[in-house]
Amino acid sequence: MEKQANGKYAACFTIHAGKDRTGEIRYARGVPTIEFDSEDEALGYILDFSGDWIDQNPI
């Protein structure tokens, strides 16, 4: 998550293989496409998106 200059939060994140972030990068969203008013909203989006992505892209 990144706080933007406008005070909103961007959902920038990376999904790695494995549990300790040392595995290969499976998905990366570095450029924000959606901004949120709160950090909690951005985190909720990241968790929902990541869960769905992992379900659709098994290792």
Q: Is the pLDDT of residue 59 over 80?
A: no
| 14, two tokens | 């990376």
**12-44: pLDDT as tens digits:** 888 888 878 778 989 888 877 789 999 999 999
pLDDT value for 20: 81
Task: Say what the pLDDT of residue 19 is.
Answer: 79
**Position of tokens 């790695």?**
16
H or E element in which residue 13 lies: strand 13-16
Helix or strand run (H / E) with residue 45: helix 39-56
Query: And the tokens for 21?
Result: 């972030």
Residue 30 vs residue 45, higher pLDDT: 45
Q: What is the pTM of this model?
A: 0.76
